[in-house]
Structure formats: C-alpha cells, structure tokens
Amino acid sequence: MKIGVVTFPGSLDDRDAARAVVRGGGEAVALWHADADLRGVDAVVLPGGFSYGDYLRAGAIASIAPVMGSVVEAARGGMPVLGICNGFQVLCEAGLLPGALVRNDVRTFVCRDQRLRVEDASTAWTSAFEAGQEIVIPLKNGEGGYNADQRTLDELEGEGRVVFRYLGGNPNGSQRDIAGVRDASGRIVGLMPHPEHATEPGYGPSEHGGGASGNGTDGLGFFTSVLQALASA
C-alpha cells in the first residue's frame, strides 16, 4: 500500500512520517506541495512543521497549495488522510475538519511526552487501538489550542468524533481537552501530537513508562491501522 507524505516549504517531520509509514509496513511516497499529482497513493499524511513559515495563520497558505486541491478531492472521495500538528492545522484551514488551532494559552511553545486517551478506535488511523486506551506520544507546538463554536463542539461530542483527548492536564488551552478529531466518515483524522515520532524503540517517549507499548512506540498503531483499513476496503 502506498502512503503519500506531502512536503510543503517549511515541513519538518516529513522524513519521520515517511519512516513511520515504512515501519508500519507501508510504502512511503514523497509528494510535493506544488505538484497536484498524488502519484497513485492510497492514503496521505500531512506532516508537522511550519509550512510557509506559519505566515498569515498556521496551515492557511498550505491549505490552498496545488497538492491540496487533489488531496481535498481524493479525501472527499474516501481516501484516508492523517494530519499531524501542522498537518492538522492544514486540514482545518482546508475545511476537511471543523475548528481551528490558535496560539497556546500558556503563551509558550510546548514540547513534552504527552499522555492521550484514544476516544475513538473506529477510524482508519486508530483501529489498532482500543477505545479508552491510554497512549503516550510527543507533543510539540506553539499553536495547538483547538477551538470551535459550542454548537460544533457539541456535534463532535455527540457524533463521537473526538478521537483523542489530553490526559494529565490540558497543555495548550484546547477546548474540552481535544487533541484530535475526525470527519464524519472516520477516514480523515487530525491531531496535534506526533505519532510518527513514536515508532522506533529508543527514539520515542521515555516518560510515563514509554506508554502502552512500554518502549515509546505507541505511534506505530496509526500506520498499521491505515493499512488494515485499506486492505479491508
């Protein structure tokens, strides 16, 4: 299965995301922001970083890059898409996910091993987990405060579309401790923390006992889940 990883000017975690795809058992395909060709991929990861220098708003300019026209069209047709950190911001700006990410309420960049609860294990990117399971993956951002109006938040909660919630204290002022959400189909998922940085023993989180995996590889499940979803589609 081919998983595309988009590189925008200012993307930082595209190489780690591609490596995570391979560690999960997929084939990583590099995609370029200025090229609308998705090169026959079965799914797409929008990686973390500071696309276009976070100019205007984080993810705003990337959301209308040539490649995003193709990603939005394919996503609306059912292709799985995962947005990590800046990729989550891009998905919100592109209108594929509701809400917006704003500057952390603590006014500082936050970088730490973050405990999360997987609220929804039915998505294309979380089926390797159990609903309610606790995982630990890195969190590192300056603009991670999830915001939406109360009606949208109530809808997300009511439809079970909050996929991840922060545990052990809210790190950035996100409403209702939301760390990640999904679209109605469960194939488009966005989150601020970084699963791609937790796929290799010795290089992932060491705090909180290394997470559910015990060795800092709790992020691997994202990349095995999507292969499962594609195989059963």
Partner 1 sequence: MGRVLVQVMPKPEILDPQGKAVAAALPRLGLTGFVDVRQGKRFELVVEGPVTPEVLAQARKAAEKLLANPVIEDVVAVVDADAADQAAHAGASA
- Tell whether residue 110 is a contact of partner 1 (CB under 8 A): no
Query: Helix 14-24 to helix 220-232 angle, to the nearest 10 degrees?
Result: 60
Contact 129, 98 (CB under 8 A): no
Written in H, E and C, the secondary structure of 84-102 is ECHHHHHHHHCCCCCCEEE
Residue 147 to residue 172: CA distance in whole angstroms: 11
Residue bearing tokens 């973050």: 114
Task: Please tell me whether residue 176 binds partner 1 under the rule CB under 8 A.
Answer: no
167 binds partner 1 (CB under 8 A): no
We find the least distance from the C-beta atom of residue 104 to partner 1, in angstroms, to be 7
The residues facing 136 across adjacent strands are 115
Total chain residues near partner 1 (CB under 8 A): 20
Contact status: 64 vs partner 1 (CB under 8 A): yes
- Is residue 92 a contact residue for partner 1 (CB under 8 A)? yes
Q: Identify the three-state secondary structure at position 123.
A: coil
Question: Does 100 contact partner 1 by CB under 8 A?
Answer: yes
Q: How does DSSP classify residue 213?
A: T
Q: Does 154 bind partner 1 (CB under 8 A)?
A: no
**Given 85, 119, 143, 197, the catalytic residue:** 85
Q: Please state the φ and ψ torsions of residue 137, each to the nearest 5 degrees.
A: -140, 160
Given the rule CB under 8 A, which of 34-42, 97-105, 129-137, 177-185 is the region that contacts partner 1? 97-105
Question: How far apart are CB 81 and partner 1 at their closest, in Å?
Answer: 19
233: contact with partner 1 by CB under 8 A: no
At 29, is the secondary structure helix, strand, or coil? strand
Residue 155 falls in the annotated catalytic set: no
Least distance from partner 1 to the Cβ atom of residue 211, Å = 29
Residues in contact with partner 1 by the rule CB under 8 A: 56-57, 60, 64, 92-93, 98-100, 102-107, 145, 147-149, 173
